[in-house]
Chains A and B, each alone.
Chain A
Amino acid sequence: MALNLKRKRDGDVTPRKTRKLSEDDLDAVSDVEEDESEVDAGEDDEWGGIEMAQNMTAPVAESTGPGTKPKLPPSGEELRVIKDASSLFKSSTFKLQVDALLPTVRPKAARIPPLDRFLQTLHGVLTNLPSVAPQHPLEAARKLIKKGVSVPFCLPQPLEDTNWKVAFEKPSDITMVGSWPNKISVKAKDGCKFGIDLAVEMPSDLFQEKDYLNGRFFHKRAFYLATLAEAIQNSKSLNVELTYQSASNDPRLTKLVLEPRNDETHDDFTKLNARVCIVPVLPANSRIPLQRLSPSHSNIRISADGDFASIPTPLYNSALLMALIPRAHLLSAFTLNEHTPSFGDALTLLRVWANQRGYGEGSRLCVRGFDSLGSFWTVLLGLLVFGEESVNKAKRKPLGRGLSSYQLFRAALDFLSRHDFEKTAAFHKANQGHRFPPEEYEAHHEAVLVDSSSTLNVLAGVPIGSLQLLRTDARKTLEELNATSVANDLFSNVFLQDKRDLLTRFDTVIRVDISSAQPRSSSLHSTLDTGSPANALISSITALLREGLGNRVNALAILHSSPSTRPLSQALPTSPNVLYIGLIHDPQNALRLVDHGPAAEESDPSIAEHFREFWGDKAELRRFKDGRIIESVVWDIKSADERSRVPAMIVRHVLQRHFNLDATAVQSWQSGFDQVTKLPEAVSRVYMGSGVAVGFKGAMVAFDSLVKALKALNEQLPLSLAVVSPISEQLRYASVFSPVPLSESLAQSLPQNARYLPSMEMILQFEKSAKWPDELRAIQKIKLAFFERIAMALMSSVKGLKARVVVGDGVTTSKIQDVSRLDIVTPEGWAFSARIWHDREATLLDRLITGKGALPHINFPSQKKKGKANQEAVDAKEVYLRRFIHAPRHHRAITALNHRFSAYSPTVRLVKRWLASHWVLHGHISEEVVEILCASAFVGDGSDLHLEPDSGFIERSGVPGSKERGFASVVQFLKDWKWEEGLFVPLYGPESAAGDPLPASNNSRSGVWKISTEVDREGNVWTVHGPDAMVANRVRALAKATWDYLQNMEEGELDVKAIFIHPTDDYDFVVRLDPSALPRYAQNIDSSLAIGGRYMNPREDPDESLRPEFDPARSLYDDLQRIYTNTFKIFCDPFGGDRFGVVWDPSLRQPRPFRVLGGFSSTPVKKQKETEKDKGLVVLNEAGILCEIERLGAGLVRELTVQV
């Protein structure tokens, strides 16, 4: 009982405290707000309410601070907050994060008072303006331009013979509209200012009924705006910068922007980072008839022929409606805010999310149509909360009002990800039902979302491609939020990170300079409807590209910079000259090589005519295998790499044909990326000429026939061959260069330094037998015997095949480790290298490691475990596990991924090339771990891995569809990845997740990356030997630099090759090798240099014998790395790199006491003075080591450059 009482009392105490606190707060707030202008006095109470709600939570938590007893159970109030947080939000952490986010994107209350004072002054100025008598529009404009203010007349411009007049009367009403008075403003990207929209009502006397025709209303509005501008500019009491700005670069939607000059006076609101926008609006009782503005009405009739009368002008009508609607929007947002408490927060979340993805103003690229679409988000949420106005009974159920902000945000994303704006229109619930027939919207607008007044389509002029992109983004975010595995930076992924970069968003990015575009067919009407020639051009580009690409793309987005302000002297907005076209591929259709048109027997000739007209000379009549004769377009490609370029080719073709934009105006970066994984021209020409089967397919065929030959040997071998598993990156589409064979005859025609023949590893497993010796050393010897037998048998059964037994690797001295292998070179010149897997080895090694022999009960002294033999066994076990257990599984998983995601293999190759060209692949980062890293960009949380690709499920939307996007995603990941936290990649799909994780080696590791999979929970199989912390940081820095460089794409200055050129400044010294001694030099990234005439010359002693896998540079590199482990870090490009970069261990350069096993080459420190006592200090012998390297690499090393 006592406990209960106590709890009750506590529960009482807390709210009391809270109330007090929040009352104080309220007082403070109202103090501040007392002297606000009457304009927005109405909504003050509301604001305080939100404040209070926020304050409520804070003191409650504080009250349980260190002062009170820690063991007290939470009070009822607290409990409610906690429970709400976890049930209404994703998690309580998420809720707290949201709470922390919200205040940072809202205007600071303390900075508002100067604005209010300014608005009061402005109100005074505007209400005291003198009238201007009616006059001819052009004459009026001339008068104004003398004062430095031009009138933003739109098309069709007023002419000298117009018979109507413009005039000015002081505004009949001034209202704050938009998000500011409802306190739902959200900060825009890149420091753009908060907008405070002032709706200045033009007196209805100024307008006539017929003003809706031919832009007459807009001309009058323009004059009104210009007059206001002139008046404010000359007003002494207002110290502001005046500019024009047009939403969507449409001169009809021009507004006047007032920005304060920083003068520290009492009404200078610079600190608020806001600006006041003046928007002239029509009064509710205007003479312009509303029914004339429905989407199907035609309101422009100014052509010689009367045709225009019948063509509707939906965009023009929408623009006119904009002058009628602001108040209605304000009211509906207010109702919504009243009705649903969490609306404000949800809207903020939604807009932050959208802003981070480029759906809003900012200094970077903005998705077309979304630059000034603030009302869209409000209407969207309204639609969800209040429901839909029914069309044909298909009605969306309204959501309850009790949703939390997060739930509402999710609901909005859900709507965006499911709703297909292309097919169905959406109508906000309206009080009086539909005002215009709903079909009219669908007929005349691309996308439809009609607001609560049931008049305006807020999506008028927004291309459908932008909404497709929005849908993809919404789906991606929902997938992240739904992911089963909890990513720890989920919140920042959704709200905090800038996701506007082009490369990770789009599979194909094309930059188009439209300044020189000459449309094949341009229509005056569309220019007049869209408001400006540029807008007409862009919308026609969008439409034609959509037609050309068809179902190849899931989204086709046009991006350009958001409209900027312009000085008052400039009447019309400047349209962007540069467009970015972003395509998100549909993986099933994107790379199709043939587009089918109408069949030849098509009865309507106009369809075929249209097809031919559209494609030009690309269209041809073709007869297909099944007998159909169809108009079609065929895209021919030279190599498999080029296939990924088909969508870009189509865009180029369409732009060329319809807009006469040639290659210089249309820029894409794919060929640059293609180039880096190709052998130089001179080498590939030799292969083309020889006609041998090359590429991954060729390698697979060669492998299969070798397996067949091996299996045929069963008679001649003591045990029959059970399984042959490939483990080579060439056999899983993951090697940087597509594999090529090298036969003796081919080698003759290639220069010495292009004669590298990689051999492909595979594992042979024989049937189980008791005849194997039960001793490790003997097993290794038996393997030799097996190899010898196979070699003899193969050579006699396959003509021209060469097989040699390799007895070791020249470094390993362990007699229990698997070292021997069989080198096979097929007659066509493919090289393979086979190893034998005997599973008994694992048991025997385990016995050695645990110290338990055949007599498991005898405990040997623990000391023995540290012995050399034990270490040897541990090493051997590690090699065994990696080579025989993990490698084949890894190979199979990667092969499966290749079949699943067409962009995976090119991505891996590109990333490998990138890491190699920055000197970290192979030596520090293993090839396999790169494959897993890249896979993480594709498999997500792995939930859909087990599904068959053709089972009709929806593809995860974050999956890159091209290698450029995959590459950018991996670079982005590496840039942000905190490797300390590790990474889990569900590479093997869900079935294997339940299975037993394979045993991992317990070796001590030097690598710091922890990349785990289902079968490798520890995450160290492929990262045991690196990268260490230093290299890992280096990779992160490299990724950061590359990422920053990639962003240059937005300026159009991106040289792809520069990403792959390694700066060598920060190495202590650089070892230069002799290119003519490197068999792989042809693979060097700077390959033009490789096949220059200089190195084509044969060496003095041409050694004609072919040596597969012989790479002295790599051997030297490995030796140096091994010899000087503790002395320096060495880096090189495994692909024909002709330089090694070396960084000393900095600690060794400080003198230190002499030790016998110092582990580095040292020189005694000279004594400073003769009298000094000899401390026996030594320091790194740098010059000596350089000399040693020169000696070790005699014949390879050309020079050593020490860098200071």
Chain B
Amino acid sequence: MSLPSSVAGFTVLPISYPGSSNTSTHYIYARAHTGSKKANTSKTTLPDSRTLFLVNVPPDATDRELVLLFKSSGTVERVVFDLDADGKEGVGGQDDEEEDDEGSELSDDADANTANAEEERDADMQQQPRKRRKLDKKPKPPQVTPLPTKPLRALRPTGRTAHLVFLDASSLERALAPQKKNRVWPSSSSTSTSTSESVEKELSGLARYTALYDSLRPPLDSVRAHADSAMEVFEYELAQTRREAGRYKKGEAIVDEDGFTLVTRGGVYGQTVGGGVGVASKVFQAEMAEGGKGKNKKGRRGREGKEKEGFYAFQKAERQRNDLLELKKNWEADKAKIEKLKASRKFKPY
């Protein structure tokens, strides 16, 4: 057992699966989570002191299984999959969140990396408190009736990450402490797990595919309920945006959080909404977008075009000469090409 107990600062957690004929070991790399300075939103959701960062989570792991795996170390508050992978790609995604607070659904999206309905709900849980606080003053928005779901394993690409938030900071140390024996992966698809007797088992393999097939084809009435309610939500949100837009039209300057005024067309006399600053015309903008000095260039070319070609004898002679040179150049190029092919014995038909 000369396996290193840690790799690049990560503790190696060997995991073995029970019941399989294959006695191989899976390795999860774990470390205490340290929030990056840039993404301050994740700091709030993932407290440094009690978050465990896991790398190389098995592709078929469910959060319940991870919770059970670390049960001996402490109670897990929640599991977030793949936050890092998306966080890196989607730096802009978080900007969205700030910008679109007015009610566009984009903010949901940044976190909607989850693959099944169960996790969507999970993600909603994170969002709900904030949202509700904001919307408290307004009438309660309609809710989407979810489609009936079964707990189905989501399969993620291999080698991804997960964050485990413990309830208690001390659990973190316990989780990272080296263990003599391999941890045994708890399987929520086997009925033997005592704690999850009440919950439906999470299927895998053929049974999962069959269940998935059926769950993707829900009864028609629930489809109807879902679609209708979703449309209701949409109508509601549309109405919200309209109200915002109405205010915007009236000429109320839009001021963002940092106190800057957004300069935008729509005010009177070619000025910004709310007045004060002039706004460039659309035509001007389009021209600028096309590439700056377009107009000037065109003018000069036009004048050049008027110059006569083949007027002077030297022009004619020059053109002829150039044509000949061009001809010869092509010929030489062809020749070189053939020589090259010849070298590779390409011309022996048999």
Contact = CB atoms under 8 A, between A and B. Distances in A.
A863 B217 contact: no
Interface in B188-207: 204-207
A189 B84 CA distance: 66
B20 A1127 contact: no
Contact of A788 (B85, B88, B223, B230): B223
Nearest to A74: B328
A245 interface: no
B interface, how many residues as a size bin? 35 or more
A1156 B324 CA distance: 62
B158 A1123 contact: yes
A868 B223 contact: no
A750 to B, nearest CB: 19
A85 B338 CA distance: 14
Contacts of B204: 1191-1192, 1194
A1193 B234 contact: no
Interface residues of A, number: 113
A347 to B, nearest CB: 15
B92 A866 contact: yes
A781 B109 CA distance: 16
A102 to B, nearest CB: 9
Nearest to A1200: B22
A105 B350 CA distance: 8
B275 interface: no
Interface stretch (A126-134, A523-531, A938-946, A1158-1166): A1158-1166
B30 to A, nearest CB: 12
A1176 B264 CA distance: 54
A1178 B334 contact: no
A1181 B26 contact: yes
B327 interface: yes
Interface in B257-309: 264-265, 282, 285
A1191 B202 CA distance: 13
Nearest to B234: A778
Given A74-B328, A1157-B88, A1187-B26, A1123 B93 contact: no
A1162 B57 CA distance: 10
A101 B349 contact: yes
Contact of A64 (B159, B332, B348): B332
A1161 B158 contact: yes
A448 interface: no
Interface in B214-270: 216-218, 220, 223-224, 226-228, 230-231, 234, 238, 264-265
Nearest to A809: B216
Given A809-B216, A815-B112, A1157-B88, A778 B230 contact: yes
B217 A782 contact: no
A1151 to B, nearest CB: 11
A498 interface: yes
B161 A1156 contact: yes
Contact of B92 (A104, A867, A1127): A867
Given A190-B350, A1123-B155, A867 B60 contact: no
B20 A1181 contact: no
Contacts of B205: 1191-1197
A27 interface: no
B24 A1186 contact: yes
Interface in B70-114: 84-86, 88-93, 95-96, 105-106, 109-110, 112-114
Interface in A186-232: 187, 189-190
A73 B325 contact: yes
A5 to B, nearest CB: 14
Nearest to B105: A777
Nearest to B53: A1156
Given A813-B113, A1164-B3, A1194-B205, A496 B346 contact: yes
Interface stretch (A117-125, A302-310, A722-730, A1111-1119): A1111-1119
A96 B24 contact: no
A807 B216 contact: yes
A1157 B89 CA distance: 12
B316 interface: no
B110 A784 contact: no
Interface string A408-444: 0000000000000000000000000000000000000
Nearest to A863: B92
Contacts of B157: 1122-1126, 1159
Interface in A729-776: 773, 775
A865 B91 CA distance: 10
A978 interface: no
Interface stretch (B6-14, B34-42, B132-140, B166-174): B6-14
Given A492-B346, A867-B92, A1194-B204, A1181 B27 contact: yes
A1159 B158 contact: yes
Contacts of B3: 1163-1164, 1166
A1162 B206 contact: no
Nearest to A1119: B155
B159 A1159 contact: yes
Given A781-B231, A805-B217, A869-B93, A96 B22 contact: no
B223 A1161 contact: no
B316 to A, nearest CB: 14
Interface string A1022-1056: 00000000000000000000000000000000000
B27 A868 contact: no
9 contacts: A64-B328, A96-B338, A100-B341, A781-B226, A815-B112, A1174-B6, A1178-B7, A1185-B158, A1188-B59
Given A1107-B210, A1122-B157, A1166-B3, 5 more contacts: A781-B231, A810-B212, A1156-B161, A1157-B85, A1163-B25
